Amino acid sequence: MGLCLPCLGDGPQDPPDIDDRRLKLAEAAERRQRESSSRGILNLQSVEEKRKRKEKMEKQLASGGPSQGGLRWTVS
């Protein structure tokens, strides 16, 4: 019959150290996140440059406030 007892195996197998296991899990999570963020993107560098330019423009608009030039809304 089949008995599943841990004491009848090859010998005691120590479980991996908790800190090592956490480190490996964290590395795997970071690797999965990097892979999923670049999935479907052929040129990752150009995407990063566009994102940085967009953030820079948003900062300029937020810090500069309303500008004097541009279109005006008038009601007659």
Q: Check if the beta carbon of residue 63 is closer than 8 Å to that of residue 55.
A: no
DSSP state letters, 20-44:
HHHHHHHHHHHHHHHHHHTTT-S-H
Containing 54, the helix (H) or strand (E) segment is helix 44-64
Residue extents of the structural domains in the chain: 17-61
pTM of the model: 0.40
Residues belonging to the chain:
76
What are the backbone dihedrals phi and psi of residue 59, each rounded to the nearest 5 degrees, phi first? -65, -45
pLDDT in tens, 34-71: 888 777 878 888 989 999 999 999 998 888 765 666 77
pLDDT band at 24 (very low <50, low <70, confident <90, very high): very high
- E strands, 1-76, where? none
pLDDT (0 to 100) of residue 49: 94
